[in-house]
Amino acid sequence: MIFTVAIDGPAAAGKGTIARAVAAEFGFAHLDTGLLYRAVGAKGGDPVAAAKLTPEDLARGDLRSLAAGEAASRVAAIPEVRAALTRFQQDFARQEGGAVLDGRDIGTVICPEAEVKLFVTASAQVRAHRRWLEVGGDEAEVLAQVIERDRRDSERGVAPMVAAPDALLLDTSELSIPQAIEMAVEAIRQRIGQGRA
């Protein structure tokens, strides 16, 4: 079965948590596409050359840091970097057995034919608070970084972060994690049910 779940949205909205839960529920493969951009940014040097990723690049221990997120957001605005990572993501999306990918442009650019598209969001304040609980430091500074990263990701010329017109919007500001997961799982169940009808 070819079945793709595309999950897009800003940082710390809950995409990763929902994606992992959905993958476990349906037995789909999961790709956190942010890690690809983080690995390119973390390598330093010429970003286009760095976009030829190796398994070692993806195994680095520092990819989840705030600094790697910042570097990722910068290299992600370079069209040649995005182009170098496209094919791998598209092949992953259409693999046999089902796949869930989370990122910024999965439902719009990488896999517009995805069977289910979710755009997971939450207020900047809520997202900054969640990030601050993970990383500590000055919460106001974390909020400023979240707002700046949103701006860069949504205003860039190539593959900006935007909800696909046919995406289901999931605002997790006031949802618990189990509630958000349940809504995503339900949307996928319905779509699988339609496929069988």
Which residues contact ligand DC by CB under 6 A? 11, 33-34, 37-38, 69, 72-73, 76, 103-105, 149, 153
Inter-residue contact 29 to 99 (CB < 8 Å): yes
Q: How far is the CB of 65 from ligand DC (least distance, A)?
A: 11
Q: How far is the CB of 133 from ligand DC (least distance, A)?
A: 16
Q: How far is the CB of 189 from ligand DC (least distance, A)?
A: 25
Q: Which is nearer to ligand DC, 39 or 181 (CB)?
A: 39
Q: How far is the CB of 76 from ligand DC (least distance, A)?
A: 3
How far is the C-alpha of 75 from the C-alpha of 71, rounded, in Å?
A: 6
The maximal CA–CA distance of the chain, rounded, in angstroms, is 52
CA angle 33, 109, 10 (to 5 degrees): 50
Q: Which is nearer to ligand DC, 162 or 192 (CB)?
A: 162
Q: Which is nearer to ligand DC, 155 or 182 (CB)?
A: 155
Q: Which residues, at least 6 apart from 163, have a Cβ–Cβ distance to it below 8 Å?
A: 8, 107, 119, 169
114: left (phi over 0), alpha (psi -120 to 50) or beta: beta
Q: Hey, which residues does 75 pair with through a beta bridge?
A: none
Q: Which is nearer to ligand DC, 163 or 192 (CB)?
A: 163
